[in-house]
A = this chain, B = another copy of it.
């Protein structure tokens, strides 16, 4: 019933009649001790409720066994999944993860990175707006802090992502295969996301390959009232797009909701697809067509890459395979019969494109508890 704080290693040593060093060894190098002393120590520790103090250990050993993870926001389930993947990988290696979110704000990004470094994280995993020009990254580099990018792609820094260029191209190809010719790519400000920029590029490149009209790019900025009219004016052009390819699923959902308010039905009047493959997209009605990227694995792989680097095994950047999920939000355009459709075998194939397995049969299960 005492509120006495837990005993330290020293008290265990005294109680067990050994030196502090021996107690330490009982936990970290048990093979060095005799059976007898080891069990005696473990028993005393148990009895007194000993809990090793990582702060002391970290200070002395110079290793906190902790990694930092810097993400834009957890409101996007993509990043939430990334955290869980990274955390699992870290835990598997005896490491902890310290998470911080930036809200897409450069100031907070830098502040958070420094904060994590003050906590002596041994390395960092992060997603930034544009790795090619990023103050935080430069600082890390200058400091010699090991780090790995997640979701970003870079020629100069280690990263884990999907091949955004190819993935977006693959989705476009599917759309074209369904008969779509007039495509609009919808995104936020490209300066805020190199992913969106690459996806747009991928769409444009593949469109040229497939010889369809150059897709329109609609970049929605902050001010929504105005953006709403821009979206509508896009759709009231003489030859409006038959499909909107949104740079991420959250945006796609928002766009679909927006369209609904002006009476445009998806996919009947207009097809819409997204990018990310978030779980709730599969629950939408119709389900959201999307490019699935394995977020949990991205986090996991980024963490592994970082851990390997810390262990002196630098490893190499990875592009994990994406999958196309052709949900009900995309169908053939209603005027598709009036335009010649490409035959499937004129389209190029990509090794990373594979049909997504049947929709998760146990979604209910995963969402049941709370």
Interface residue ranges, A against B (CB under 8 Å): 3, 5-6, 49, 51-56, 58-59, 64, 72-78, 80-81, 83-84, 87, 96-101, 104, 114-115, 117-120, 127, 129, 143-144, 151, 187-189, 192-193, 195-196, 220-225, 227, 247-248, 250-251, 253-258, 260, 266, 279-280, 282-287, 361-370
Closest-CB distance, A28 to chain B (whole angstroms): 13
Task: Pick the residue among B76, B119, B120, B285 that contacts A285 (CB under 8 A).
Answer: B285
* Contact assessment for B364 and A72 in the assembled complex, using a CB-CB cutoff below 8 Å: no
CA A283 to CA B256, docked complex, whole Å: 8
Q: A74-B83, A84-B75 are in contact. Are A365 and B222 (CB under 8 A)?
A: yes
* Contact assessment for A76 and B193 in the assembled complex, using a CB-CB cutoff below 8 Å: no
* Contact assessment for B369 and A104 in the assembled complex, using a CB-CB cutoff below 8 Å: yes
* Contact assessment for A51 and B227 in the assembled complex, using a CB-CB cutoff below 8 Å: no
Closest-CB distance, A272 to chain B (whole angstroms): 11
Closest-CB distance, A320 to chain B (whole angstroms): 17
* Contact assessment for A370 and B96 in the assembled complex, using a CB-CB cutoff below 8 Å: no
CA A234 to CA B151, docked complex, whole Å: 44
Task: Pick the residue among B98, B127, B220 that contacts A364 (CB under 8 A).
Answer: B220
* Contact assessment for A188 and B368 in the assembled complex, using a CB-CB cutoff below 8 Å: yes
Residues of B within 8 A of A51 (CB): 114, 117-118
* Contact assessment for B254 and A76 in the assembled complex, using a CB-CB cutoff below 8 Å: no
Q: A101-B84, A370-B196 are in contact. Are A143 and B6 (CB under 8 A)?
A: yes
Closest-CB distance, A264 to chain B (whole angstroms): 11
